[in-house]
Structures are given as C-alpha cells and as structure tokens.
Structure 1
Amino acid sequence: MDHPRCLLDAARKLHADMVDRLGTLVTLESAPGSLPHLGSCADLLARWGEESLGRPARRVVIDGLPHLLWSAADQRVLLLGHFDTVFPVGTVRARPFTVRGDTATGPGVCDMKAGIVQMFTALRLIEDTSAVGVLLTCDEESGSLTSRPLIEREARRSGAVLVCEAATAEGHVKVARKGGSVYRLTVRGRAAHAGVEPQRGVNATVEVAHQILALAALGASDSGGTSVTPTLLSAGTTTNTVPEHANLAVDVRAWTRAELERVDTAIRGLVPYLPEAALSVQGGINRYPMSPALAQPLLKLARSIGRQLGIENLGGAHAAGASDGNFTAALGVPTLDGLGAVGGGAHGADEYVCLDRMPERTALLAGLVEAASTMEPARLRAIDEIP
C-alpha cells in the first residue's frame, strides 16, 4: 500500500481521539486579549505539541500574550496557526461544543481549533519532525500586532509555510487572500446643550455620518473587489448633549497592493464636512495580499498527495479574508493556506466543522509536511515534474 494511504489509515484510527480533543479545545475558551483564558489554552497546547513533536514549546510572551513556538534547527517547513477566537468569554456556555452526526459546532470550532487538532495529529503520524517548526499565536483575530515579528522571523528561516486555517466548505485549500487594513477615525466637535442651544455645538455624530458615506464610496464595485467597511462606532455622552467626540473603526480589504495603497491615501486625505469639526486617522495597512504564485509549487505537491488519498480535484481558492499567511507570502516564502478543517460559518453562531473529513485532511497535511520537509527550498520553489 502506498504511503499516503497508510497515513490515512493511521489518521482514521485516531478519529475518535481528534473529536475528543476538539471538544476539549473548544470548551477551553480563548477570547481575544483575555490573558487567563489564553494562558490556560496555551498550557494545554504546549502539552499536546510536546507529545507530537517530542520537544517542548518555547513560550514567547509579548505584552502578556503567550505565543507558542517549536522551532527547528534546519527548518524546512513551518506550520502556522492561531488559538485565539473572536468570541467573548462565556460564549461556550450559550453555544457549547455539540456533535450532530458528522458535524460539530461551537465557538472557534472551524476558525481554527479543528485545524490545530489536525496539525498535532498529523505530526504524530510523521516519523521525523526534526525539520518541522510550529508556531501558534494568540492575537491573529486582533491583527497579529505582537506576533507579526515572530511570524516573519520564523518564516524567513523556513523553506515553506503551511497555514492550518480552515479550508473552504468544499474542501479547497487557499492560494490567495485579500490584503487588509484597519483604521480608527476620530472626530472632534464641540459640546452644547442639545435642547437649549444646539446651534452652538459642532455635532460629531453628524460629522461621522458624512465620513461614513465618503468611506463607502471608496469601495465602489468598479474597484476590483475592494471593500471599505465602517464597523465599530461610538459617539456622544448623554442624550441631551451635542456629541463632542465620535470614533469609527474601518475595515479595508483588497486583492492588490495598489488598491490598499489607493484607499490608504484617500482615508488619510479625508477632510471635515462641518465647519470647525476636526478629523484624525490612526492605523493603516496591516497585511498585503497573498499572491497565488507563491502557493503553486505547494499546491501541485498537495494535489499529487491528495490524488493518492482519493481527494480528486483539490482546488486552490481565492479567499477574501486575510490570515497570517499574508505576512509569510509577502516575504516571498512559498505559502499554502487552508490546510485545516473542512467547514464554514467562521465568526458566526453557525460555525461548523465536518468531522468525517478530519482523517483525510490530517493525512493530506502529514503527507505534505513529509514531502516538503525533505526538499531543499530551491527545489520546492520550482516543482515542475508534478502534473
């Protein structure tokens, strides 16, 4: 029997264990910025990682946030993921980990706790992990502000990066991602009594409303899929006071560097609509787009292994959402994303994972890690012989 099929058989024997571990990991909440919860989750993952790799994790704590790193001296492959979720503490009480048939639901089950379980299981199937590094961060959902230097440093040491974020609902891996920017727009007006003399005030809520319309125009349909989305908004102090301050968060996504830079220039050039109002802009481009060219050699390799596992027509999808793979691809390091669980509904109440697909995706990852970790980086970048 060929080796990929042996990996699949081994993964199937660990299926029940994977489901149990997934339930444990989802139940152990890891809300963004919640240091006690992130610390407890890191403790569990450090144990699992040491079991799989045979070496302890290095806990890299930055601003109190515990990132986990298993580096390799000759790092041919870096497995990349994150264990923070977008869900506040207490979500799991309202929506606990639940299994119905071949589907599991729960906060963070798809993005990306199932991917972490599959990652560590795949590593248990590999005989030699000495050239494999693993990095699990805990601030991806909030912009990777503390982990980015660590991600980029480890990527530069690696021949390839395999990102264990979720696959598409159809099971395709991800070869391209939009880049993203995050901004905070602050409006300063002037307070006044809203009932007695509103004309003396400069209404920050009215000003921010005009800015929202201006921002929406920057993401017009003829801009190649660029989205400019006002998100968090706050203004005012009391119901009878003309608001003196307003704050607006803006999320920007685009397929090209030029588009991100176009929108960045436009946002920084916004001018007040109301006389005497003032604007200030913080933030900027967070992640440049992930180019499909860098993923092609790894996609060819994954397709070859997938065919031996019975996975026909493994596709390379273009994903609108960004990931830490954007950082590694921007450095020119071959990067393939979406190697985690098959599922969908990320960040929503209906988030789910297909449990029956976990063994095949684990075997695919294990086969890809084995193949890439034995290749010289130059050979990996120029795979032509694989159809």
Structure 2
Amino acid sequence: MNAQDRRLPRAADFDAEELLAGIVSWVEMETPSERPDLIDRLLDHVEARFTGLPVSMRRIPGRDGCGGQLVLTYAPGGLNGKPALLMGHIDTVWAAGTLAQRPVRREGDRVFGPGIYDMKAGSYLAAESLRRIAAAGLVPPRPIVVFLNSDEEIGSGTSRETIEELSGGAAFVMVPEPAFEAPGTVVTMRKGWGRFTLKAFGRSSHAGGNLSDGRSAIREIARHILDIEGLTEKEPHATFNVGTVKGGTRPNVVPAEAVIEIDMRADDLATANRLVTTILARRPYDPDIRLEVTGGINRPPFERSPAVARMYAATVDLARELDLPMAETRRGGVSDGNFSAALGLPVIDGLGCNGGGAHAIDEHILVSTIAPRAALFHGMLMSRDFQDKVVAE
C-alpha cells in the first residue's frame, strides 16, 4: 500500500444524505428513453455541475430519436495512460408524467422513485465521484472517464459505437448498474442477449366453406414455439422465451400471417453464435408456408474472463481494506458492460446501490448502501495498489 492509498476515505467519511439529495435531483428529472428533450435537459444539469472544474466535457448529439451522450474526462497535469472508464445510462423505462403519480418518497432505509434503482443512483455516484476528485484537485493513478448514455433501456443502438470506442482505449471498466443480493455484491458475469422475429406466411380461406384451401400461419407458428421453447431444456448454457405471438384476423378465417418474437440468453459467445445459426436456419414444417426469420445477438455475453477475475480479486482486496463487504454474482440480464467485457477488458458491474423493483412500481434503493458504494468508487479510482493489480500494461 502506498502513501496515497493510506488516505482512502471509508464509508463513514461520506454523507449519505447529501449524496441522496443529489440522486433524488436526477430522479426528479424524468428521462424516458423516447424523450431526447428530457434526456438533454438532465445532461445540461450534469454539465453545469462540472462548470469551472478541470474536467473536459464532450457532448455527443442525439440521433434516431434518442437523446445525447456525455463524456467527462479528468486528466490533471497532462496525466496519461489508459483511463479508468465508468459507464452509466440516464434513460429509464418510465414515461414522462410518472412522477406526478408516484413522487419520490422515503420509508425508513428505502427511497422509492422511478428510475432511482435502474440506474440513476449508480450513474449519479459515478459522476459525483469524478466531480469530487476533480474539485479536490486529487491526482489519480490514471485519467478518469465517465460516460453517460441515453439509450441503454432500448438496446444502446446509438451509443454502442461510443461504448466500444471508449472501452477499447480503457484500462478497466466500472459499471454502476444496480447491485443485487446482499450488500457489497457485484456482477462478474452476464448472459448474452439475442432477439429474433419469426414470421410465417400462409394462405387465407373461409374456415367453414374452404378450410382445406387455407394454410394456417398460426398452426405453423405454434410448432415453432414448442420447438424453440424446448431448446431451454436441451441447452445447458442458454434459455429461450417466446414473448409475443400475433396472428390472424377473424375466427372464421384461416390465418395467412403470424409472427412471434423470441428472446435468447446464452452464457458464452460460442453457444450464442451456434444458436443464432440454428434459429436463423429454421425451415417451415408445411411446404406451402413461407418463413422469414431475422435477428441476432444484441449484446455479447459478459464472460468471467481472466481479466474480470483479476479485477474482482483486486476489488475484494480493496473492499477488505475499506472494511466493506464484497461478493460476486452472475446475472441473466444484460448491460452495456457486456460490450466492454466482450473486448477482453477487466470489468466489474453491479456497482450501484442495493435496492429492488427495477422496472416495477416499487423501485427503490437502500440508503444504507450509498456511502459504502461511494467509498468503493473512490477507492477504485484513487488506489494505485488496486489499479496495479488490475492492469497488466
């Protein structure tokens, strides 16, 4: 441990109520993914907090109906080397006006609010950690970059290029997505995510007078549903879910068209690629039916690579030094960390606050986990000992 590391603050050195006030200020600015105007309003608010500090700000304009993105960089005195990269999203699944129906409220250790858990608490702590380090004039072991995007909840279509660009030049990546399970738990593995659409085109006819002339697209689709759902039992490292089914026009008409949407999760890239090929190669059971299958991998698997394992081991050591609990878990849900991990980088995810109710009306965080996470963030960004264990340069 070097002299700088001996000065690392503990959880007790952080004012959880002050940090909570900042988190709530973000929550009270609604940012549904489909409202770029509201997204950009919050980014304006973030930029204002950094005015006058030695932090460069690069605003990436929104496109394709999505809001903008913001890159904050702190490299005092020409500090060089690959940066520590923190990535968080500020968009939520909640429509504008939700706050009027369900305003932020507190019940003991729990604070409820739309988007507070997924993931404004974590994204705020990432930005605020950088702001405090810069405001204090501290010199970290390497530059710090915070990236805030606005389309994670809808697939990161407009931000993926920037995520991969920033990740490619980073030393390691911290993702403050919500924490799960016991306080102190982080995520070191996520399944990859694929989505597919399978359409069947048959031939309509009168169900009473000319049934045999028709070719039922729904009957065809039904067979594929059973087959695809059955893959979950056959594949030890993947799951499938047919989430939507649409088809037909009237009960007395043989349906000429039907469509299903398929969700695939896979533990590793080899499995994901093999199953993508399997799904895209599906053929009709009825030769008079035409199939159209589209889709692929949206996010590659976040595997527990040697680089991830190394970063987790260093995080355990740091947590012990800071008197913080630490454990790891794996998740079936995806994050932007999947993109970084797929590039072979050291990544720790699930660094946000504990709580629950993501995408649900009881969404909340635990106030008792704010200060411990703030201490961990600061330590990961400022400890040379931690970073030397993580980075093999």
Structure 1: distance between partners of 2:92 and 2:208: 44
Residue aligning to 2:164: 152
CA spacing shift, 1:107–1:233, aligned 2, 3 Å: farther
Report how far residue 111 of structure 1 moved: 1.1
Q: Which AA in structure 2 matches 1:206?
A: R
After alignment, is 131-140 or 346-355 more displaced? 346-355
1:56-135 map, 5 Å: 56-65=57-66, 66-71=68-73, 74=80, 75-126=82-133, 127-128=138-139, 131-135=143-147
Residue aligning to 2:181: 169
1:172-187 map, 5 Å: 172-187=185-200
Normalization by structure 1: what TM-score? 0.87
After alignment, is 350-359 or 26-35 more displaced? 26-35
Residue aligning to 2:377: 365
Report how far residue 105 of structure 1 moved: 1.9
Q: Deviations over 1:191-215 (max 9, x none)?
A: 3445554444333333222221111
Identity %: 31
Is residue 53–residue 123 contact of structure 1 (8 Å, CA) maintained in 2? no
Report how far residue 63 of structure 1 moved: 2.4
CA spacing shift, 1:146–1:8, aligned 2, 3 Å: same
Structure 2: distance between partners of 1:87 and 1:264: 31
After alignment, is 167-176 or 36-45 more displaced? 36-45
1:137-148 map, 5 Å: 137-148=149-160
Residue aligning to 2:228: 215
Report how far residue 358 of structure 1 moved: 0.2
Residue aligning to 2:335: 323
Structure 1: distance between partners of 2:352 and 2:238: 26
Uncovered stretches (5+) of structure 1, i.e. residues with no partner? none
Structure 1: distance between partners of 2:264 and 2:50: 35
Report how far residue 11 of structure 1 moved: 1.9
Report how far residue 2 of structure 1 moved: 4.5
Q: 2:14 aligns with which of 5, 11, 15?
A: 11
Residue aligning to 1:205: 218
Structure 2 SS opposite 1:168: coil
Q: Which AA in structure 2 matches 1:68?
A: L
Q: Which AA in structure 2 matches 1:26?
A: V
Number of matched residues?
A: 376
Is residue 48–residue 120 contact of structure 1 (8 Å, CA) maintained in 2? no
Report how far residue 240 of structure 1 moved: 5.1
Structure 2: distance between partners of 1:48 and 1:237: 55
Structure 1: distance between partners of 2:308 and 2:17: 32
For the aligned residue pairs, the C-alpha RMSD in angstroms reads: 2.7
Uncovered stretches (5+) of structure 2, i.e. residues with no partner? none
Q: 1:190 aligns with which of 203, 207, 214?
A: 203
Structure 2: distance between partners of 1:122 and 1:36: 26
Is residue 126–residue 146 contact of structure 2 (8 Å, CA) maintained in 1? no
Residue aligning to 2:244: 232
Residue aligning to 1:30: 31
Q: 2:355 aligns with which of 321, 333, 343?
A: 343
Normalization by structure 2: what TM-score? 0.86
Is residue 131–residue 373 contact of structure 1 (8 Å, CA) maintained in 2? no
Is residue 64–residue 158 contact of structure 2 (8 Å, CA) maintained in 1? yes
Structure 2: distance between partners of 1:26 and 1:111: 10
Q: Deviations over 1:62-96 (max 9, x none)?
A: 32421211246744201011112233344334433
After alignment, is 132-141 or 49-58 more displaced? 49-58
Residue aligning to 1:55: 56
Structure 2 SS opposite 1:134: strand
Q: Deviations over 1:171-192 (max 9, x none)?
A: 3011111111111222222334
Residue aligning to 2:346: 334
Report how far residue 275 of structure 1 moved: 4.2
Q: Deviations over 1:305-328 (max 9, x none)?
A: 22233213x112112211111111
Structure 2: distance between partners of 1:49 and 1:189: 59
Q: Which AA in structure 1 matches 2:102?
A: R
Report how far residue 374 of structure 1 moved: 9.0
Structure 1: distance between partners of 2:248 and 2:53: 53
Report how far residue 136 of structure 1 moved: 1.1
